[in-house]
Structure 1
Amino acid sequence: MKILMLGWELPPHNSGGLGVACLNLSRALVNEGAEIDFVVPYKADHSELKFMHVVSALKLDPLNRFGMSAYDSKRVEAKIVSDAENKQLISIRDVQKRYCEFIEKYLMKYKPDVVHAHDWLTFEAGVLAKKNYGLPLVAHVHATEFDRSGMNGGNPVVHAVEYEGLLMADKLIADLNITKKIIHDRYGIPWEKIDVAYNSLDENFVTADYALKADHYKYLEVMKKQGYKIVSTVGRFTIQKGLVHLMQAAAKAISKEPKLLFVFAGDGEEKEELVQLAADLKISNNVIFTGFVRGQRLRDIYEISDMFVMSSVSEPFGLTALEAAHHGNVLILTKQSGVAEVLRSVMAYDFWDDKKLADAIVAVAKSEALESTLKTGIKQEYLKISWDDVAKKCIAVYNEVNKRKRNNF
């Protein structure tokens, strides 16, 4: 089966988990016998991905450098990147238009069996493929605009694009049941049109030998030897991630248990606010900002941490929680984090409840028995889900939409 995969990013040119999920899903689909052309909106060398054909739709540098990642929906009209093709400034909407133009030309030459579009940025191209060429369209929803905006309105342009894609798609795949519910409740899409397929960990992440690189976080290692517990969080510093609540909870926890260090790994629009808040709360000595990290440095943060907090106001899935679990972290997640659907050995709280989060952190820090119980339980759970299962679900969806297409002729 030939799949035209429409995506906005792939590692190493990714700003978050979307690119990672697209990569792992594509690899698993190829293992199931699929042939994939994966179209990205930038020019980059992905020659290491020999299992599929990565196609560059535009001659642009990778877009995550310019605030044009899959997560920057607030800035869809901003002129924020220099176009290498004609030396003018362009916006996300301009890039989407040219992406669609490329897909139009591509489909004049190639005829895939199905089009699989990931999130709102590629939905217009997917709809074009369906309308103009009669191709079955599968829309994969990793996050809605309601998620990205912290359930606080969002960008009306994005909502309109998202709604059209969801409406026109022959079938939808959501990462979680909570995402399925948002699609149904907020956009009015019928339940039966939406399938759910849980994300998983990269197989190489799980099986590869791993050793902490000693010189990356020497300070944290020294403090651990002095009895400190390390609490980490990883992600973009946006309203969706609930990091202000986490910082306020950190202050409450430190007042009860001073031997706590909080590591904020990532970057984003809220960074200055978070740095100032740590100072205002007088906990700067207990808070470390690493900046954006990936690869070995990211894994070292997981490896050296005792607890991982996902404080999101709304989190469709949360692959970082699975990664942290693999490195033996206790997980403390908001009830609004979708990964809690598949993991039970966690401590859960509502994103606004700073006190409950602080109490959970202190409880784990002071009880070795509780820490051990949670770590043992989580290991038995996260390995039960796999990308192979996701790929099989997608293949079933592809077969369903193709059968429906044949029956309509």
Structure 2
Amino acid sequence: MNNGINQKLKITGIGFDWRDIGRDDYGESKKKLDRDGLNTDTNDFLMVYLGGGNRREKAGEQPKFIAWHIYFFTRLRIVYDLFLIVFLPLVLIKEKYKPDVFYATEFPFLLSQIIPAKILKSKIYFRVLNLPRELALTKGKKGKLFYLYYKIIEKITVPFVDKFIAINETTKKYLLDLGVKEEKIVMDIPDTIMADAAFIEKVNKYFIREKYNIKDKKIILSVGSLIKEKGYKELLMAFAGLNRNDMMLVVCGEGKEKSDLLRLSGELGISDKVIFAGHVRREEIWNYFFSADVFALFTKSESLGMVFWEAMHAGLPVIGAAVGGVEETIGGDGERGFYWTGDLKDFEEKINLCLNNEETKEAMIRRAKEYVEKKLLIKTDINKIYNQS
């Protein structure tokens, strides 16, 4: 084995791309891979993306980047999970591609990688980006079925993974609870902040007020997919209960719950105080962070909560639910942020502290920024992991 840091690897990965971000420019796709330490400037890639039509595209020769997109007019994941077991080996044969590493971020994707990896004597690396069974239990009546599905898949696939990449202590604990030996786990913190340094340098701190013609209002910002597990119903109800007329809630994100949330904001009588900004691209999201006053997201399951880190980096006091990686990020209540406890009076008191108590707010923001800066120093990449194995 070549132990040089710059040894080129051939990597095969699987991912979701429902928004089809790679149709016109694979820059966004490569940026996500680089965020995960996959070194697109060095390594060759054969990627299979679920969603965004059916096609094969090549985006670069040196290094090589080939992407296959598959879509079945459904988002039922078990359909894709089973199809990939047959499809991925066929793609490898078609491309005459022998990867050094199979890479996955979803346990079910591993099902399609195990046999090819054994035949080709390739490594399997798995990055833990979420807490599947915990997340499943936020999905209502179907949650127990999802929970059982993930539990079975984890039991089948975990023994075949060569290295697990945890993104924080919360995901590391999830792996240890699965019986993964600590020596098979490496830590690598994804960094969406330094990767966006050029955008951050150009932020407009009056962006929200200028774009939406908001004057003399305090702004609560929330960023996330509009899905049940993000807790937007609870956030709207909490916002409606605030005894203040000088506030606006700005929500950045899209999702299947949007129509229900629009209707709920009307029923609560706060339609004129809530702005649904839709999907916001990376180059613009920092304008929202830096021009808001408070960040709030009541997500019910979270492995890391990178949006909390981004808000902290922008100097916003944050309020979140005490779950998973959010709890790890905030620490004690009031240490690096505040907790949503489900109590409306408590929420209002914390909002008032964030807006009116400069000493408390600034001390909390300072601790939050220091925490994020320290965590972002925990870095590795796939080439280093491969060379050290």
- How far residue 236 of structure 1 moved from its aligned partner, in angstroms, is 0.9
Matched, 1:167 2:159: yes
Q: Mapping of 1:64-213 within 5 angstroms?
A: 68=75, 75-77=76-78, 91-93=79-81, 96-97=84-85, 99-105=87-93, 109-120=96-107, 122-151=109-138, 152-153=143-144, 155=146, 156-185=148-177, 187-208=178-199, 209-212=201-204
- How far residue 207 of structure 1 moved from its aligned partner, in angstroms, is 4.5
Work out the CA distance in 2 between the residues paired with 1:250 and 1:52: 49
Question: Cα distance 1:67–1:204, how it changes in 2: closer, same or farther (>3 A)?
Answer: farther
Work out the CA distance in 1 between the residues paired with 2:227 and 2:210: 28
The one-letter code of the counterpart of 1:181 is: K
Match of 1:35 in 2: 43
Work out the CA distance in 1 between the residues paired with 2:33 and 2:352: 37
Matched, 1:249 2:238: yes
* Residue deviations 1:121-144 (CA, integer Å, cap 9, x gap): 532233133222222211111113
Question: Cα distance 1:220–1:154, how it changes in 2: closer, same or farther (>3 A)?
Answer: farther
* Residue deviations 1:299-335 (CA, integer Å, cap 9, x gap): 2221221111231111111222222233332222322
Q: Mapping of 1:376-387 within 5 angstroms?
A: 376-386=366-376
Work out the CA distance in 2 between the residues paired with 1:221 and 1:45: 43
Q: Mapping of 1:244-393 within 5 angstroms?
A: 244-252=233-241, 254-255=242-243, 257-342=244-329, 346-349=336-339, 352=342, 354-386=344-376, 389-392=378-381
The one-letter code of the counterpart of 2:364 is: L
Work out the CA distance in 2 between the residues paired with 1:259 and 1:157: 46
Match of 1:56 in 2: 67
Q: Is the 8 A contact 1:332 1:346 kept in 2?
A: no
* Residue deviations 1:152-206 (CA, integer Å, cap 9, x gap): 4352445433443323212211222212323343x44444433332222343412
Question: Cα distance 1:161–1:100, how it changes in 2: closer, same or farther (>3 A)?
Answer: farther
Secondary structure at the aligned position of 2:380 is classed as: helix
Q: Is the 8 A contact 2:220 2:247 kept in 1?
A: yes
Work out the CA distance in 1 between the residues paired with 2:324 and 2:296: 11
Work out the CA distance in 1 between the residues paired with 2:29 and 2:343: 28
Question: Cα distance 1:196–1:99, how it changes in 2: closer, same or farther (>3 A)?
Answer: farther
Work out the CA distance in 2 between the residues paired with 1:130 and 1:180: 24
- How far residue 6 of structure 1 moved from its aligned partner, in angstroms, is 0.8
Match of 1:22 in 2: 33
TM-score with structure 1 setting the length: 0.75
Secondary structure at the aligned position of 1:298 is classed as: helix
Work out the CA distance in 2 between the residues paired with 1:164 and 1:40: 22
Secondary structure at the aligned position of 2:214 is classed as: helix
Match of 1:86 in 2: none
- How far residue 337 of structure 1 moved from its aligned partner, in angstroms, is 4.5
In structure 1, the gaps of 5 or more residues are: 69-74, 78-90, 402-409
Question: Cα distance 1:389–1:332, how it changes in 2: closer, same or farther (>3 A)?
Answer: same
The one-letter code of the counterpart of 2:349 is: D
The one-letter code of the counterpart of 1:128 is: I
- Tell me the C-alpha RMSD between the 2 structures: 3.6
Secondary structure at the aligned position of 2:36 is classed as: helix
> Which runs of at least 4 in structure 1 moved beyond 6 Å after TM superposition?
213-216
Q: Mapping of 1:390-409 within 5 angstroms?
A: 390-392=379-381, 394-401=382-389
Q: Is the 8 A contact 1:11 1:20 kept in 2?
A: no
Question: Cα distance 1:183–1:242, how it changes in 2: closer, same or farther (>3 A)?
Answer: farther
Work out the CA distance in 1 between the residues paired with 2:362 and 2:57: 44
Work out the CA distance in 2 between the residues paired with 1:368 and 1:117: 44
Work out the CA distance in 2 between the residues paired with 1:298 and 1:175: 22
Secondary structure at the aligned position of 2:374 is classed as: coil
Question: Cα distance 1:115–1:94, how it changes in 2: closer, same or farther (>3 A)?
Answer: closer
Q: 2:11 aligns with which of 4, 20, 23?
A: 4
Secondary structure at the aligned position of 1:153 is classed as: helix
Secondary structure at the aligned position of 1:232 is classed as: strand
- How far residue 11 of structure 1 moved from its aligned partner, in angstroms, is 11
The one-letter code of the counterpart of 2:277 is: T
Match of 1:81 in 2: none
